[in-house]
Amino acid sequence: MTSNGVIDGVARAVRQAGANPDALRSRPKAPSALDKEDKTYNTELVVVGGGGAGLAAAARALQAGKQVVVVEKFPSVGGNTVRAGGPMNAPDPAWQNTFAANPGEANTLQELHDIDEATIDPEFIDDFRALKVEIEEYLKNPTYLFDSKLLYRIQTYLGGKRKDLKGNEIHGNYQLISILTERALESVRWLENIGVEFVRDEVTMPVGALWRRGHKPKVPMGVAFISVLKDFVLKNGGIILTDTQVKELLITDDIVTGVKGTGRNGQTITVNGKAVILTTGGFGANTKMLQQYNTYWSEIDDDIATSNTPAATGDGILLGQSVGADLVGMGFSQMMPVSDPVTGALFSGLQVPPANFIMVNTKGKRFVDEYGSRDQLSQAAIDNGGLFYLIADENIKETAYNTSQEKIDAQVEAGTLFRADTLEELAEQINIDPAILVETITNYNSYVDAGHDPEFDKGAFDLKVEKAPFYATPRKPAVHHTMGGLKIDTKAHVINENGKTIKGLFAAGEVAGGLHAGNRLGGNSLTDIFTFGRIATDTAIVEYLG
């Protein structure tokens, strides 16, 4: 992103000087004087993909005293993790119980409690009944923030339960969800031991997470994880090969033992090991692949924006298929409802917790329960024309993360964020009838006071919109995550089309499917990659590295 910023800035300067920047953009890159020869590396564990899952897998291997090489096709590590908002889900009741409940949360739990058991899939029914007992006990004194592993498990299950365009239903694999929800807090503690620092005076909720259980790092965004993990890997003897595109999995005696790829100058790079972990991410930046597999959205436009790194093109899925891997859930992709209308990025404007979302369409009216899942919010936005606005006041602005006053002022100056001293003036800036916007906000504020939203039954509230200046952030859904991928088991083995494990091959993170089913909860991706990244390494050590 910083590189593109420099390039775009130079292009503007060239254009202002009267020249054509396209002539510079199309000029071939200068060949590097280094790394022109073929190279072979010998190690114990090979990790393909240098995002959060890959670096976690590598760090875990180094903790166990094993050799590891990480192969990344981009010039730098980070993947989609470095673009993440930061908060990761993990139930931690001893910590969460110290925070007061938000208005509406007790009602959300009551509604969950009252779900018809006939709609719950058999493998989840015992957990659901046990959760109902927990909720009944809590509702006797619903003054603090409640959470439990069971609540997390059932919300992950229900949050991912969806039907495709043909009416076929999908839900997450019970065993995978159980592993995720049982070991989530363990992943937070492991990251802390590696060196990631988390905020302790705030518990937050990413978009579409359904509950406040987000552990937010002190350093903004996913940089908090990537910087610490990268440093740990390099300081402890790990090797990271960037600018290296893996083209082939190497097999020895029916075991996947290494990879072969191409370096930045076209040279052949071979990495031999004893096992391979695929952590290459999903295919959210591959529009053709999204369209090929899509069974959920009525249509995916050719020019749809994405919040993903351009590296998320499905490479690992193709590698897995090349050795017979089975796929699961490929038709379900997720849109991030609150994306930048032009770039698809997440952190322009004011990105605040969903309890402070007030989403209004281009007519100035609310149109959805802002506490809902990402696909529900995205579909509602699409049904209302795509473009909408997040309305905030000065108090809500203070809850925005990954921004600063300097950035806010710059965006207002650039016309990508709107600010006014009155709601009427704000409405005029975004071409909305002032009377309608004022009525919408007046009604919303009354719902906050009452703790109940009679229009859309919002799941939880926090702040009212009452203190000037007021803000409007334009938003539009963009592709964010792909739920489908390589089929894995609870030990992160990749499964072939005959239901057997592919020896020596593992997968973790967005490249793997079956966990999030039809919709991923916000904050679950980070928990997924750090949990199953470690599991993949632990299994590889026991079975192949010794």
Alpha-carbon torsion angle 52, 492, 323, 267, nearest 10: 30
Q: Which helix (H) or strand (E) holds 79?
A: none
Query: 3-class DSSP state for residue 450?
Result: helix
For this structure, is 374 an active site residue? yes
Q: Report the Cα 88 to chain-centroid distance in Å.
A: 9
Cα angle for residues 337, 218, 463 (degrees, 5° grid): 50
Burial class from Cβ neighbours inside 10 Å (0-12, 13-18, 19+) for residue 121 reads middle
Distance (Å, whole) CA 308 – CA 17: 33
Burial class from Cβ neighbours inside 10 Å (0-12, 13-18, 19+) for residue 425 reads middle
Q: How many CB atoms lie within 10 A of CB 449?
A: 10
Distance (Å, whole) CA 271 – CA 450: 62
Query: 3-class DSSP state for residue 95?
Result: helix
489-495, Cβ contacts within 8 angstroms, sequence gap of 24 or more: 489/175, 490/175, 490/176, 490/179, 490/535, 491/535, 491/536, 491/539, 492/277, 492/532, 492/535, 492/536, 492/539, 493/539, 494/278, 494/320, 494/325, 495/325, 495/326
- Token readout for 410 is 């710059």
The bridge status of strand 470-482 relative to strand 327-328 is unpaired
**Strands across the sheet containing 485-487:** 327-328, 485-487, 512-513
CA dist 151 → 127, 327, 373 (Å)? 9, 28, 16
Distance (Å, whole) CA 536 – CA 249: 17
Assess contact for 155 and 520: CB atoms under 8 A. Answer: no
Q: How far apart are the first and last CA of the chain?
A: 40
374, 475, 520, 534: the catalytic one is: 374
Catalytic residue numbers, as ranges: 374
